[in-house]
Structure 1
Amino acid sequence: MSKRVVIVGGGVIGLLTAYNLAANAEQVVVCDQGAVGRESSWAGGGIVSPLYPWRYSPAVTALAHWSQDFYPRLGDHLFARTGIDPQVHTTGLYWLDLEDQDQALAWAAREQRPLSEVAISAAYAAVSALGPGYERALYMPGVANVRNPRLVKSLKAALLALPNVSLREHCQISGFVRTHERISGVVTQEGVLSADEVVLSAGAWSGDLLRTLGLELPVEPVKGQMILFKCAADFLPSMVLAKGRYAIPRRDGHILVGSTLEHEGYDKTPTEVALNSLRASAIELLPQLAQAPVVAHWAGLRPGSPEGVPYIGPVPGHAGLWLNCGHYRNGLVLAPASCKLLVDLMSGARPLIDPAPYAPAGRVD
């Protein structure tokens, strides 16, 4: 492993990459233009599954399966190391009145995942707060959600405890340093930061940074807005999803409802239109939320990419530059497997899965 690695971007992908690299690298530096973990990683819902896993390619499925199985262990490990519990909360997930239910069941049989049709009466018995009128339900029992702000805090604390890792927050990166055919560092507002290897994991900003090298990476910001309610701790025992909107219970009774999909560039301003739309969806799904105040409303920027398949691996023609970005709506879901795969590739270890579908070669112009 190289002596010094600089990671551009301090979301969950960048932080977990740093944590995995720290065992073998002499020094790891994480740079973020703001506070680490405060962009997409902070804003998402934290469901440890794609919303509709059967609609994704096998490449996304492979990363998701490994990560889902690993998340409880990761949560326990970070809690033991830092005292900050990421709260990997296994609740199961109900999908209601799906248009492509047959496709979902066929996917579950093919992938041997425990997704099955249940009687709608069973769904109402399990989730008594559900609104009226739903006719069909699918259920997957093992799906968890992670309390993503706490995951970020726990990862940050774990990294700060390592002597060979440093976090540089509010460190704007404007470009890369090239020595002959090799990337040998990054340009910050404070000067050049040299490195043996550079990892680009800057979320929605990754495409802009790679463009400084004359490369086109089809990653763009996609705005998502969410709202938060506070209810009794036992109000919602399972995650539920209908008509493209979902409700996620936290252990303390907070209920997240999301989300929107908006192509508005880098604008993260929460809007009244989205607030009203999300609240209406929440009340349709769980009518008792009409009496619960919205305690928070926010927006974040996802790193949109074609088909949601991330870019993981070396950049051809730019030795020393690696990508781990473009996870779109599934950064939290795919993070453990994505970061493990990247570190496998960087260290020459046998990759945990076939890396070919994620390789930048042929996908970055």
Structure 2
Amino acid sequence: MTYDIVVVGGGIFGLSVAKAALGKGLKVALLEKNTIASGASAGLVGALMPHVPSQWNEKKQFQLDALMELSDIVAELEEATGLSVGYSRAGRLIPLYTEHKLEHSLARVEEAKQRWRSDETGFTFNVVKETPFSDWLTPEAAPLGIIWDTLAARANPRLVSAGLKAFLEPHIPIMEHTEFLGFDETTGTVSLGNGETLSADRIVLSAGYEGFGPLSAIAGKTIGMGVKGQSLLLEYKTEKPLPVIYDDGIYVVSHANGTVAIGSTSEQEWTSKEPVEDDIQKMLAKAIAFCPSLKGAPITARWAGIRPKCKKRDPLVGLVPGKDKTWVATGGFKISYAISHRIAACLMQEMFPEQGKPIHLPESFKPPHHFG
């Protein structure tokens, strides 16, 4: 069999690309060197955050549009598979404790009404003195008020990946423990680490940070790198969805399964892929400082992973320069779960242009921006 598309990499981008291609009626195969979502996509946090509405640009608009449509995307996936992905439009709280942060936030309130189309969508970005969640974010941590945005959401990353895998399995071959060695565009031959080959019309590279090596070789310069992230999971049951808290570089996310995730670090220099207990304890201490109810909650999991970050920061989506049949979708870094469905849709329209109104792909996401 000749596949229309072979997707290399079983993280959130690869899974989403495979799903989008399947939706086009294409013959798809998915290759994963390890197991599905075993790398950066196996994280714990799952905070789905909009950008603060200032210095607006097309990248921020892209992420906003992705978040706006995410509820429908999730509902369709859950209905198709019968599996929950732990999604909730829970909102976000950010404590304010400096005059500078307060002034900056107040200046964003009106802009948010315009950018988020608050009258139409109902999503707001406000500065308030207190919230109904004072037993969650302690008022002492927010002496000057709190940013309360109602657009932010959360989902369980591992459940999202499991849901996508369950959706795909009846329809396409998912080849785990299968290493990709190369693709001959002339013959359409995909070479695998087990000595076998596949035939494909084109491939999509979504192999996480390890995929930057071949891309950098093509470009003759560094295209991206791996940035280590760490997080932890606490046992913590709540009766209602609680908003994400963000402060001092730390996210606290209350999940639907009786856990709270705390993370994560961003370490450009690292020697070990494993969690470092000192880092875990520092994150936990920071979180307890603004969310004291977490004190004493047992740690049930620790995680570390290497996330793909393009050198020019934005994701990389499109046809690899100098190639005719080799495409790429990578570099989602911290926002992959929020935008993966829209990235995949854009890649499909880049491959197969259609009439009608296309999704706008920011210029800074396209290969010329990264390779030029």
TM-score, length-scaled by structure 1 = 0.89
In the alignment, the residues of structure 2 paired with residue 307 and residue 212 of structure 1 have an alpha-carbon distance, to the nearest angstrom, of 16
Within 5 Å, which residues of 2 pair with 1:216-227? 216=221, 218-227=223-232
Structure 1 equivalent of residue 272 of structure 2: 267
In the alignment, what sits opposite 1:358? 365
Gaps of 5+ in 2: 118-122
Unaligned runs of 5+ in 1: none
Q: Which amino acid aligns with 1:187?
A: S
2:142: which partner in 1?
134
How has the CA–CA distance of structure 1 residues 307 and 270 changed in structure 2, closer, same or farther, with 3 Å as cutoff? Answer: same
Displacement of 1:110 in angstroms is 4.9
Report the equivalent of 2:12: 12
The answer as to 2:112 corresponding to 1:108 is yes
Separation (CA, whole Å) in 2 of partners of 1:171 and 1:55:
44
The answer to whether residue 157 in structure 2 is matched with residue 153 in structure 1 is no
RMSD: 2.4
The percentage of aligned residue pairs carrying the same residue is 23
1:76 offset after TM fit, Å?
Answer: 1.4
Large movers: runs of 4+ above 6 Å: none
Shift of 1:226: 0.5
What amino acid is the match of 1:353?
A: H
Match of 1:194 in 2: 199
Tell me the equivalent position of 1:347: 352
Partner secondary structure for residue 232 of structure 2? strand
Indicate the SS of the match to 2:48: coil
- Look up the match of 2:330: 325
Residue 71 of structure 1 is matched in structure 2 by 70
Alignment of 1:31 onto 2:64:
no
Assess if the C-alpha contact under 8 Å between 1:222 and 1:261 holds in 2: yes
Pair 1:241 & 2:249 matched:
no
Aligned-pair CA distance for 1:351: 2.7
2:93 — aligned with what?
94
Query: Aligned to 1:174, which of 163, 181, 185?
Result: 181
Deviation at 1:297, TM superposition (A): 1.0
Paired AA for residue 255 in structure 2: R
Render the CA deviation track for 1:238-282: whole Å, top value 9, x for unaligned: 111111111111123311111111124573210012111111012
Shift of the alpha carbon at 1:58?
2.3
Q: Is contact 1:207-1:216 (8 Å) kept?
A: no
Q: 1:25, CA displacement in angstroms?
A: 4.7
Structure 2 letter corresponding to 1:101: S
CA distance in 2, matches of 1:262, 1:235: 33
Specify whether residues 339 and 101 from structure 1 end up closer, same or farther in structure 2 by C-alpha distance, changes over 3 A only: same
Determine whether 1:118 maps to 2:141. Answer: no
Question: Counterparts of 1:339 and 1:169 in 2: how far apart (Å)?
Answer: 21
What is the SS of the residue equivalent to 2:14? helix
Q: Deviations over 1:158-186 (max 9, x none)?
A: 10121xx111111122333242xxx8343
Q: Secondary structure at the match of 1:334?
A: helix
Asked if structure 2 preserves the Cα contact closer than 8 Å seen for 1:92 and 1:238, the reply is: yes
Aligned counterparts of 1:95 and 1:346: Cα–Cα separation in 2: 40
Task: Give the conservation status (yes or no) of the 8 Å contact 2:105–2:127.
Answer: no
Q: Quick check: 1:175–1:209 contact (8 Å CA) kept in 2?
A: no
SS in 1 for 2:261: strand
CA distance in 1, matches of 2:147, 2:43: 27
Aligned length: 356
3-state SS of the aligned residue for 1:126? coil
Q: What is the distance in 1 between the residues matched to 2:365 and 2:249?
A: 27
Kindly state the Cα deviation for residue 213 of structure 1 after the two structures are TM-superposed: 4.0
* Residues 260-269 or 327-336, more deviating: 260-269
Question: Quick one: which of 174, 184, 188 aligns to 2:188?
Answer: 184
User: What secondary structure, in the 3-state scheme, does the structure 2 residue paired with 1:316 have?
Assistant: coil
**SS of corresponding position for 2:7:** strand
Distance in 1 of aligned mates of 2:159 and 2:36 = 12
Report deviation, 1:360. Answer: 0.3
Question: Is the partner of 2:38 in helix, strand or coil?
Answer: coil
Please give the alpha-carbon distance, in whole angstroms, between the structure 2 residues aligned to 1:301 and 1:316: 26
Task: Determine the C-alpha separation between the residues in 2 that align with 1:44 and 1:293.
Answer: 15
CA–CA distance in structure 2, aligned partners of residues 340 and 160 of structure 1: 20
* Distance verdict in 2 for CA 1:23–1:290, change over 3 Å: closer
Q: Structure 2 length as normaliser, TM-score?
A: 0.88
Q: Comparing 187-196 with 320-329, which one deviates more in the overlay?
A: 187-196
For residues 186 and 53 of structure 1, the distance between their equivalents in structure 2, rounded to whole angstroms, comes to: 43
